[in-house]
Structure 1
């Protein structure tokens, strides 16, 4: 009996030690990183900036793949059918994963998504052509007050971060504007430059690519974005508006808690890399650190904010 107990104890000790080594060594092979949108968008750009830092820190490849469709819903609806071993990651976006299931049946519920980290957001920004009559946000607000419904805003889709921003903007300023959804950021920007609309709700990242062709009136960040040091925030102008498209990383919900934590810890190392931070900020992104243990509180806060504007957006909450 004693010999059997000793052997059993030895086996358990070896097993625990091996498990600890595996945990410490994560990852030990290539990791697949699925982006639920087409190449070239903000989610892809951010992932491409993460990729070399991940590989330098871990010594393992981060393989970026694409599963576009239905505004991200095609990928998110399939996430939980994938292996939960820490070697399949998927980009997640807010407000998409809250508003999509709230508005209609999309193949997943918000709580189905096991987010492990949120690492950045692209602040909403009001943009106009460089030759626009609106030189400041006050110009636009005053015009909108005098001409209810006549100011048209382009944005990247219905129930998107841009749509949320336009709804909040109207409520905060007491104006009525008209939101015109487009299939993505690029066509929404093209509509502004082509005078199809008077202004656009876009992101700080998209505004950078337009250079002198576009004027940014205000940005929905806590502090001024380094790429636009002369552009005021909405808060500076008296409107309590901070937000945009938040991006994180999720895993299949079968992924064990310790593995979720390993993935989160690795992403946190990437997110704190000085070179990564500089490249993100130069590109108009705002870097945030929301590790696994803080994700639930972060999601609850964001969900509460989106639910508050859902009815104004015409979303019948389920």
Structure 2
């Protein structure tokens, strides 16, 4: 009877330890979390990460360390994502349409399905921008110049197969205006290119117009309705140009990351996104907030892939 009791106690103790282990195995890692941004400092991905840092600290008790790994329009970072340990200590910024178009049009070292997205948190609408003193006063001015002298208008934007590149191609398809597209390593670099006179026009975002308000003019925005921060700027649709689009941004983790940690990170980012002060700050900068958690990601990505297929064919025909 005594032996049976001892055995029962051992079983009970083992069960307790297993329960404790199960409850703590996927607690947030004890240490700073590295947040890899696949672009240079100064762009939307970097700015958003900086905004998220204090809220992440408050939600998890851990520091969020922003690091940069630019190259190949983000492909250098994404191709190496699954080489990191899936212990929750490394997360990476992810962008659409980049991670869909890059594998469709080239061999970036990864496939779209290799990227484990856990949350998409905002959207930045495409916008056509010029310097404040640019001779282009309207979209029609740009169209006329690029139509009369194909390739003479130099258009800047983020890397090839990015949201900016897609916007430039759709613009050409819709208007017949042929520009020369110059890809930059990130949004921050495109702003310098425009302000430094390296390009005539810039395919940027509403966020760029908000940030560079005293130095640039936005000629049109690719939204269904006018952006509340820019009520005087027409949409492309108002001008008879069927353009609605931009860049989606979120967070991905290495494929070896356990499901529980994926969900926990998704919940954490969702909590940050829901904070009223955080949302207010983001919207004031020109971002459009979205909330796509991990459990809805498969359907969201399937929809985005379908939307980008036609554009991929168009871009591929130029190569």
Contact 2:73 2:158 in 1 (8 A): no
- Give the match for residue 85 of structure 1: 87
Contact 2:42 2:187 in 1 (8 A): no
- Deviation string for 1:190-229 (max 9, x for gaps)? 4444555432211222223332332101122344434323
**Which of these residues, 27, 32, 35, is aligned with residue 34 of structure 2?**
32
Distance 1:30 1:107, change over 3 A: same
Alignment of 1:276-295 (within 5 A): 276-295=278-297
Question: What TM-score does the superposition give when structure 2 sets the normalisation length?
Answer: 0.86
- Give the match for residue 20 of structure 1: 23
Distance 1:256 1:103, change over 3 A: same
Contact 2:40 2:185 in 1 (8 A): no
- Deviation string for 1:246-289 (max 9, x for gaps)? 21111110111121111100100001111111221222222211
Question: Per-residue deviation at 1:172?
Answer: 2.8
- Secondary structure in 1 aligned to 2:121? strand
Question: Per-residue deviation at 1:290?
Answer: 0.8
Question: Per-residue deviation at 1:64?
Answer: 1.9
- Give the match for residue 182 of structure 2: 180
- Give the match for residue 126 of structure 1: 128
In the alignment, structure 1 segments of 5+ residues that lack a partner are: none
* Structure 1 stretches of 4+ moved >6 Å: none
**Which of these residues, 221, 227, 230, is aligned with residue 228 of structure 1?**
230
CA–CA distance in structure 2, aligned partners of residues 218 and 189 of structure 1: 17
**Which of these residues, 287, 304, 311, is aligned with residue 309 of structure 1?**
311
Segment of structure 1 superposing worse, 3-12 or 238-247: 3-12
- Give the match for residue 214 of structure 1: 216
Distance 1:262 1:200, change over 3 A: same
Alignment of 1:148-167 (within 5 A): 148-167=150-169
Contact 2:44 2:187 in 1 (8 A): no
- Give the match for residue 138 of structure 2: 136
Question: What TM-score does the superposition give when structure 1 sets the normalisation length?
Answer: 0.86
- Deviation string for 1:276-313 (max 9, x for gaps)? 11221222222211110111122122222222112221
Question: Per-residue deviation at 1:240?
Answer: 3.7
Question: Per-residue deviation at 1:149?
Answer: 4.7
In the alignment, structure 2 segments of 5+ residues that lack a partner are: none
- Give the match for residue 259 of structure 1: 261
**Which of these residues, 8, 24, 28, is aligned with residue 11 of structure 2?**
8
Number of equivalenced pairs: 316
- Deviation string for 1:60-118 (max 9, x for gaps)? 22222222333222222222121212222111112222222233322222111111011
CA-based RMSD of the aligned residues comes to: 2.8
CA–CA distance in structure 2, aligned partners of residues 9 and 235 of structure 1: 68
- Secondary structure in 1 aligned to 2:297? helix
